[in-house]
Structure 1
Amino acid sequence: MCIISFHQGDHPTYKLIVAANRDEFYNRPTAAANWWEDHPQLLAGRDLRAGGTWMALTKDGRFAALTNYRDMANEHPNRQTRGEIVPSFVLGDDTPEAFLEKLHQNRAQYNGFNVLVGSVDKLMYYANRQGEITSVPPGTHTVSNAFLNTPWPKVDRARKMLAEYVHSVDIVDVDVLFEQLALVERAPDDLLPNTGVPQELERALSSIFIETDRYGTRASTVLLVTHDNDVTFIERTFERGKFKNDVTFTFTLED
């Protein structure tokens, strides 16, 4: 997943609002979001090559989401898959702090990543290239392929759009969030980050919704959790930039 915007902690209706895009190579096999057969309490999409996932929620409200940290000069193909981190947390019973401390001790086993772990009530953040475990304060935040709230143009835009919208309404219209996730406008060259990829690719990756010949946004996900623990989870999948399917899950979290 390559951009996650979320709002937590101070909305009158929702304890957690998430709008996120997962970007991946088009030929990487993926299963759409569903309750996993081998772990029926876990709701998530699935990477069918490595078996992990990028965002997951359990029936009792454990939540995690992950993005890669883009630093091509320090990518190594034989490191452990980052997609195992999300299910490892949500299927376990470690506190977020304990889980992230263990992850920090093993941080060198993975290529760069950002991860949010916790519950629908409170999230913690960790990036292995940064090494700090932090509690995410209330409000609106966005993480892409640098650190949390790094001021890349797409991050600033996504964060501002979500913040302005959620502060203007008591009831979120999921279509508005999907519209925000579908924006294809690219950043001007003078504002592009330098992450070790050619400038043409850097330019293509600067939009919130990405579409290139071989790589792009494969899924957009909206998650809403009310203060009554009612959940709406919608995943919209794409095939080479074109709409493919929506799957929707509504349920109430277990005590």
Structure 2
Amino acid sequence: MCLIAFAWNAHPHWRLLLAGNRDEFHARPSAALARWDDAPITGGRDLEAGGTWLGVTGSGRCCVVTNVRDPRDPQLGVSRGLLATDYLNGHADAAAHARQLLHSAGDYRPFNLLTFDSDAAFYIGNRPEPRAQAVTPGVHGLSNADFNTPWPKTRFLMQHLQHWIDAGDAADFAPLFVALADEQVAPDEQLPDTGVGLERERWLSAAFIRGESYGTRASTVVAIGHDGHGVIVERRFGPNGRFTGETMLRFAGSSPT
């Protein structure tokens, strides 16, 4: 993923409410949202490295990973997508998993990781050094920088998520997908300087990125209730933002349907 806003224990019905965009090269092979045959995971799948950028389990665990935008970093190490599958396949709770991962976090390519279970949520990152912190109740954001770094598009999506919560709707996710589809570019004075140049900073500042070879590949909303029941919805896009399909799966207890 490259843009995430989520509410943790901040909604009367949903324990976790998450909206995010996955930006990637269109040539990288991926499988659509589905229940995996070889693991208790529901999510999209990176067919190049085998992991996922966002996944859930029937028991209500969730995990999402982003990269860290820094062209000076050699991007060496184990694929960060495997971090998500390892957590979702494992039995350690979010707190224990965070403690364990700190010992090997430096072995992976630059990453930000969010893990959720029925009781706790954690952020784990490995740049500039491995660190972990518990997520407090409220609305948070994450992109290709540190946790809650106020990039314009991150603030924008967090605001829309907060407005959705304040409106009191628990089932109509359409406004969240509208926010994820926004292509407005941030003013130059608000842009971060991540070393990719001004033109690329402008292009990447939109929530939805439209491009021939690189852009937003999927927009996803995850909602997990305080009772463990939930839903995950994925909208997919091809080159130049062409809509290619949508999948919605509900889960209750042990398996999505």
Which TM bucket (shorter chain)? over 0.9
Q: How does 1:162-173 map to 2 (within 5 A)?
A: 162-173=161-172
Matched, 1:122 2:120: yes
**Equivalent-residue separation in structure 1 for 2:211 and 2:193 (angstroms):** 19
Q: Which amino acid aligns with 1:43?
A: T
What is the match of residue 144 of structure 1? 143
Q: CA deviation at 1:60?
A: 1.2
Residue 65 in 1 paired to residue 64 in 2?
yes
List per-residue Cα deviations over 1:6-55 (Å, max 9, x = no partner).
1121311111111111110010000001011111x210100000001011
CA pair 13-97 structure 1, distance change in 2 beyond 3 A: closer
Quick one: structure 1 residues 227 and 94, their matched pair in 2 at CA, closer, same or farther if it must change by over 3 Å?
Answer: closer
Q: Find the aligned partners of 2:117 and 2:94 in 1 and give their Cα distance.
A: 9
5+ residue gaps, structure 2: none
Give SS of 2:157's match. helix
Q: What SS does the corresponding residue of 1:105 show, helix, strand or coil?
A: coil
Matched, 1:131 2:140: no
**Partner of 1:227 in structure 2?**
226
Alignment of 1:106 onto 2:104: yes
How far 1:72 moved relative to its partner?
A: 1.1
Task: Check if 1:91 corresponds to 2:64.
Answer: no
Instruction: Give 1:121 shift.
Output: 4.4
Q: Specify the alignment match of 1:254 in structure 2.
A: 254
Shift of residue 120, structure 1, vs aligned partner: 4.8
Aligned partners of 2:150 and 2:18: how far apart in 1?
19
Root-mean-square deviation (CA, aligned residues, Å) is 1.5
SS at match of 1:87: helix
CA contact (8 A) 2:8 2:137 kept: yes
Whole-angstrom CA distance in 2 between matches of 1:16 and 1:25 = 29
For residue 35 of structure 2, what is the aligned residue in structure 1?
35
* Aligned residue in 1 for 2:194: 195
2:72 is paired with a residue of what secondary structure?
helix
Work out whether 1:6 is the aligned partner of 2:3: no
Cα deviation for residue 97 of structure 1 reads 2.5
Match of 1:16 in 2: 16
Question: Residue deviations 1:189-247, cap 9 Å, x none?
Answer: 12111112122111111011111232110001111122332211111000121111001
Task: Name whichever of 228-237 and 201-210 sits farther off.
Answer: 228-237
- Contact persistence 2:111–2:126 (CA under 8 A): yes
Contact 1:63 1:120 in 2 (8 A): no
Q: What is the CA-CA distance between 1:80 and the residue it aligns to?
A: 1.0
Q: Aligned partners of 2:118 and 2:219: how far apart in 1?
A: 19
Distance 1:181 1:119 in 2: 25
1:95 and 1:224 map into 2 onto residues whose CA distance is 19
SS where residue 162 of structure 2 aligns? helix
Paired letter, 2:63: A
Runs of 4+ with >3 A deviation: none
Number of matched pairs: 253
Inter-partner Cα distance in structure 2 for 1:220 and 1:87? 19
Q: Partners in 1 of 2:203 and 2:119 — Cα distance?
A: 35
Using the TM superposition, name which of 67-76 and 97-106 deviates more. 97-106
Q: What percent of counterpart residues are identical?
A: 39
The residue type equivalent to 2:7 in the other structure is H
CA distance in 1, matches of 2:141, 2:189: 21
Call closer, same or farther: CA 1:55–1:32 in 2, change over 3 Å. same
Q: 1:10 to 1:110 in 2, by over 3 A?
A: same
Alignment of 1:44-83 (within 5 A): 44-76=43-75, 78-83=76-81
What amino acid maps onto 1:142 in structure 2? G
Residue 8 of structure 1 contacts residue 122 of structure 1 at CA under 8 Å; is this kept in 2? no
Which AA in structure 2 matches 1:55?
L
